Structure 1
Amino acid sequence: MANKTPLEIIKDGLWLNNPALVQVLGLCPLLAVTSTVVNALGLGLATLLVLMGSNLAVSLIRNFVSDSVRLPAFVMIIASFVTCAELLMQAFTYELYQILGIFIPLIVTNCAILGRADAFACKNPPHLALLDGAMMGLGFLVVLAVLGGFRELVGQGTLFTDMQLLLGPGAADWAIRPLENYPDVLFMILPPGAFIGLGLLIAIKNGIDNRISQRQVSEVKEPAITGSKRVRVTGQVS
């Protein structure tokens, strides 16, 4: 893991080792707040900020902290960045902060953040640790936003409602309602809908990965088959 290139880190965070779809970490906030896109984006951006800051800080102190106090030090660092994110949300997006409630402080216990600090940041230089935090946080944010959009669209028949809570008054008219008189599907807004939505996303990702792997296997087999045919033809001619 210490020898990963920046391109491998980007691929890991966004797809191959996505914290939500592959590692399946941070499910508590992921399933709880993704009833709308704005809620998902709010939590996702806070998690991204904390993940980048904690990864960078852990990497900077990695040579000065002994193994006996490593985890407590990581938790203190993460808690500090969570406090900063919480104060920023209280100052600039207070209504959204009230909606997200306890799930902002719970970022401290997010296994995805603590796991990256222990598995990657404490073993790599600051620039790679910062990139890993950015990509893992961005991968988590994308899954949150997609799941939030899916649940909001199916559950309420709308998309991008209340975006002004995050982006200000200019985003108040961003709401999209594809169908008029849409009957709300309460099931998708409740926690069971979150499990179903996440399961569908994981299934889609696994299906794409399987198709890619099958295509790669077929591309490897075709030259081998072609080469063996050439050998047989050559042998017959001789």
Structure 2
Amino acid sequence: MTREEFRQIAANGIWEQNTSLVQVTGLCPLLAVSTNLVNGAMLSLATIMAMAMAGLAVASLRRWIPHEIRIPIFILILATLVTIVDLLFNAYLHELYQILGIFIPLIVTNCIALSRIEAYASKHPPLQAFFDGIFMGIGMLWTLSLLGGLRELIGGGTLFSGIDLIIPGLSPLQVLPEDYPGFLLTILPPGAFILLGCLIAAKNWLEARRAAHRHQPAPAPALPGA
């Protein structure tokens, strides 16, 4: 894999084909889990682990997978690896695991993972498929972390609520004054839709501005003696 291929895979996963802002997939965990930064980040990390391992496994076995039954086999591989991730979270992050609940096993049916296996891992070498899974997950990671952080901050005035479930002894960061009344809408699912729409609009605006800047004609050279 060349450096240019690596850069293209990273750019596609993190920005160009971002699963939340461009493909708009995985809305179920996006709405339910992104109530705070920690929950969104940790579910994204679980997804990264599952997607990277599944991409590597499918790309390594793709020559021996019959085309007619590829989808059931992809689901079986993904389900096996998600079960491993689920058991690891249950063993080492049990309290957080109880909060994330069913959404870790639901990675199996999440169209983010399955569609990427079908669209990319089944058609590319193992190393590329492995990094594609990682960077697609990183795109989900920063999006859900940002969305969860915004919902938590606007809704309750704090950041990193639940961090003590990962690192005992740490406390949430009180960003806004303690008498801040909170804004309940952002904690509810409609708030997630609204903020996601704002993030999508911001990305489209940045893309349009960058495209306009790229096609802007260069300034005319100054005339001698002007």
Deviation at 1:97, TM superposition (A): 1.0
Deviation at 1:174, TM superposition (A): 4.5
Q: Which has the larger radius of gyration?
A: 1
Residue correspondence of structure 1 range 31-70 to structure 2 within 5 A: 31-70=31-70
Deviation at 1:98, TM superposition (A): 1.0
Aligned to 1:235: none
Distance in structure 1 (CA, Å) of the matches to 2:174 and 2:159: 5
Work out the percentage of aligned pairs sharing the same amino acid.
47
Aligned to 2:176: 178
Residue correspondence of structure 1 range 95-174 to structure 2 within 5 A: 95-165=95-165, 167-170=166-169, 172-174=170-172
Distance in structure 1 (CA, Å) of the matches to 2:174 and 2:157: 9
Aligned to 1:214: 212
Deviations 1:182-237 (A, max 9, x none): 1021111010011011111111111100000000010xx337xx59xx9xxxxxxx
Q: Helix, strand or coil for the counterpart of 1:222?
A: coil
List structure 1 segments (4+ residues) > 4 angstroms apart after TM superposition.
none
Aligned to 2:77: 77
> So what's the TM-score if we normalise by structure 2?
0.93
Output the amino acid matched with 2:167.
G
Deviations 1:126-185 (A, max 9, x none): 1111110110001101101000000000001111122021x2214x22423332201021
Aligned to 1:236: none
Distance in structure 1 (CA, Å) of the matches to 2:52 and 2:164: 25
Q: Helix, strand or coil for the counterpart of 1:169?
A: coil
Distance in structure 2 (CA, Å) of the matches to 1:173 and 1:189: 20
Give the CA RMSD over aligned residues: 1.7
Aligned to 1:200: 198
- Gaps of at least 5 residues in structure 2 are none
> So what's the TM-score if we normalise by structure 1?
0.88
